[in-house]
Amino acid sequence: MSPRLSWLLLVSAIPTTPKWAMTSSEVSLVERESEYLSRRWSFPVHHSLLGIIALVVSTQLLPLSSSLH
């Protein structure tokens, strides 16, 4: 799984992230990946847990991604 896809998956897991902030192709990509992961794990992905993970990851990745641009 690419880092970008992981990031999109984590962002989409946070309920406060608006879908319109992403392009439609990114949204569908994230939704397909979420379905795949939840089927693979055989339990629904817990939003608050992923939200916490995403928060931690975003604090690590955002400075990194902004330095790349």
Query: What integer best gives the mean pLDDT of the chain?
Result: 65
The span from the CA of 17 to the CA of 58, in Å, is 13
For the entire predicted model, the pTM comes to 0.26
Distances (CA, A) of 35 to 28, 29, 62, 66, 69: 10, 10, 25, 29, 31
CB-CB contact of 56 with 14 (8 Å): no
Distance (Å, rounded) from C-alpha 59 to C-alpha 37?
Answer: 23
- Could you list the residue range(s) of the whole structural domain that residue 15 is in? 3-68
More confident residue, 26 or 65: 26
**How many structural domains is the chain composed of?**
1
- Return d(Cα 69, Cα 25) in angstroms, integer: 22
Here the tokens at position 30 are 């994230």
